[in-house]
Structure 1
Amino acid sequence: MSAAETLLQNLGVADPMEIDLEAIARTMGVRVRRIPLDGCEARITGNGDKAIVAINSRSSEERQRFSIGHELGHWHFHRHKVLMCQDADIGGHSSRATQAEKAADRFAADLLMPRYLFDPAIRQHSKLNFKAIRALAHQFGSSLTATAIRCVETKNASALLVCHGRDGRKWFRRSPDVPDRWFPQDRLDAESPAFDLVFSNKGDDMFPQRIPADAWFDRAEAQCYELREQSIHIGFGQILTLLLIDDLEMLDER
């Protein structure tokens, strides 16, 4: 169990509605202030065993909650340092993120969506799609993107989550049982419904659609398989695509 999940259990948190981040912060000696910030999403300043976290009040409530969790992660792992986190540092998903930022992101995800509560919640949904992900995001007070990542990282579905913009792939995540050889292409294939969302301003996909796997993977064997794809807009000219693998042969390690 992670440090954040242990903290929640020690506080007796047994329901997502009980995850009061500002109250949790006080137990850690941290006071949270929500103020307009320029040039960063959040910052933490500590002195001894006390700290103040400033959160950008201009951001969405879900973004503010993740930022609080992120800064509490810094307080737990990187105490006695003055840190200013840019927008890209908090849940930025970039492969260039520092180990400190990745650790703070993991702490935030575990604090907002602890597995001992999240795993039973996701099992209440018979199918993984963006409708289910939205419901979970509402239940846990987390952003759609953070919730989608959490869903894909569980063992309840074999899936990939891919973010694209007009200039190509931004980042992706895969479920633990999806082999490394399934690495999504940088550029969207015109055959993929996701292509229309990015380049033709098409609306969100209402449900997953079947598509040849070679539209997503540059491997000769991909032409033998199909998968299911669903894409949605997430702002800033970017889309999230959920790729669901049903064919067990695709999951064979080779």
Structure 2
Amino acid sequence: MSKAESILRSYGVDHPKQIDLEAIAHDLDATVRYRKLDGSEARIVGNGSSAIITVKENGLRSRQRFSIAHEIGHWMERHGRGGFICAKEDISPQNDRDKGAEAQANAFASQLLLPSYLFDPMVAGLPLTLDTADKIGKEFQASLTATAIKLVRCSERPAVVVCHSQSKREWFVTGARFPEGIWAVTELDPETDAFELLYSSAAKGKTTIRQEPGSRWLSGRGAREATVRTQSVKVVEGVVVSLIALER
């Protein structure tokens, strides 16, 4: 069990609505406050016994919660003794497997917001789609992106979450059963609904779930023979996140 899950268990948390981050931080001697921040999403300033976590006041609530959990992660991993300023690119659920303080804080945040002991039973048997991630994410007050990544990583089916901007593939995260030697394409295929989402300002929300040739989404050994089930969402203007599950 992770350190974050152990904290939640110690408080008797048995439902997502009970994950009160401000209360958890307070009990760990860290005070959360909301302020206008320029150039960062959140920061922590601490000494040997207490800390202040400052979060960008005008952000999305799901983003604020991940930022709080991220800074609690710094505090619990003893990164916050002195100070830590975290930019938007530092506080990202996809950046939790690298080495370093920010990756450790992201991994901690993901488990604090979406603890496996609550998350896994809730998603068991549900379709591997962004619709599922959206529904479950609302239960945990977590972003669709963070929830989709968690969904793919805990799934028994091979799948990948990928983010594209208009200039490049920003990142992708694969599940444990995703085949080696296959990766998400760097540029979206014009035949995909995600392409329209990305380049049309009128296109909004999530696409419908589609079965498509793997070659539209994947490259590498065996990609052309694969069939995939896909769904995409525009998270902000000019940025699209897609969930791709291998059918065969």
The TM-score, its normalising length taken from structure 2, stands at 0.93
Partner of 1:41: 41
Matched, 1:135 2:135: yes
> Given that residues 94 and 171 in structure 1 are in contact (C-alpha distance below 8 angstroms), is that contact kept between their aligned partners in structure 2?
no
Partner of 2:179: 179
In structure 2, what is the Cα distance between the partners aligned to 1:95 and 1:24? 21
Matched, 1:149 2:153: no
Alpha carbons of structure 1 residues 156 and 122: separation in structure 2 relative to 1, 3 Å: farther
Partner of 1:65: 65
The letter for the 2-side match of 1:62 is: S
Report the secondary structure of 2:85's partner residue.
Answer: strand
> Given that residues 47 and 82 in structure 2 are in contact (C-alpha distance below 8 angstroms), is that contact kept between their aligned partners in structure 1?
no
Partner of 1:12: 12
Partner of 1:118: 119
Report the secondary structure of 2:184's partner residue.
Answer: coil
In structure 2, what is the Cα distance between the partners aligned to 1:214 and 1:227? 9
The letter for the 2-side match of 1:182 is: I
> Given that residues 89 and 97 in structure 1 are in contact (C-alpha distance below 8 angstroms), is that contact kept between their aligned partners in structure 2?
no
> Given that residues 129 and 207 in structure 1 are in contact (C-alpha distance below 8 angstroms), is that contact kept between their aligned partners in structure 2?
no
- Overall identity of the aligned pairs, in %: 37
> What whole-Å deviation, never above 9, does each CA across 1:38-61 have from its counterpart, x for those lacking one?
221111111221111111111111
In structure 2, what is the Cα distance between the partners aligned to 1:204 and 1:229? 14
Report the secondary structure of 2:112's partner residue.
Answer: helix
In structure 1, what is the Cα distance between the partners aligned to 2:166 and 2:49? 46
The letter for the 2-side match of 1:115 is: S
Question: RMSD of the alignment, in Å?
Answer: 1.9
In structure 1, what is the Cα distance between the partners aligned to 2:237 and 2:90? 17
Number of residue pairs aligned between Structure 1 and Structure 2: 246
> Given that residues 166 and 239 in structure 2 are in contact (C-alpha distance below 8 angstroms), is that contact kept between their aligned partners in structure 1?
yes
In structure 2, what is the Cα distance between the partners aligned to 1:216 and 1:127? 19
In structure 2, what is the Cα distance between the partners aligned to 1:91 and 1:115? 18
Higher helix fraction: Structure 1 or Structure 2? Answer: 1
Report the secondary structure of 1:127's partner residue.
Answer: coil
Matched, 1:32 2:32: yes
The letter for the 2-side match of 1:116 is: Y
> Given that residues 183 and 220 in structure 2 are in contact (C-alpha distance below 8 angstroms), is that contact kept between their aligned partners in structure 1?
no
The TM-score, its normalising length taken from structure 1, stands at 0.90
Partner of 1:56: 56
For structure 2, which runs of at least 5 residues remain unmatched after alignment?
none
> What whole-Å deviation, never above 9, does each CA across 1:139-186 have from its counterpart, x for those lacking one?
001111111111111124321101001112000111100022111121
Partner of 1:196: 196
In structure 1, what is the Cα distance between the partners aligned to 2:3 and 2:233? 33
In structure 2, what is the Cα distance between the partners aligned to 1:131 and 1:95? 24
In structure 1, what is the Cα distance between the partners aligned to 2:142 and 2:112? 10
In structure 1, what is the Cα distance between the partners aligned to 2:172 and 2:197? 17
For structure 1, which runs of at least 5 residues remain unmatched after alignment?
248-254
> Given that residues 43 and 54 in structure 2 are in contact (C-alpha distance below 8 angstroms), is that contact kept between their aligned partners in structure 1?
yes
In structure 2, what is the Cα distance between the partners aligned to 1:66 and 1:146? 9
Of 198-207 and 30-39, deviating more is 198-207
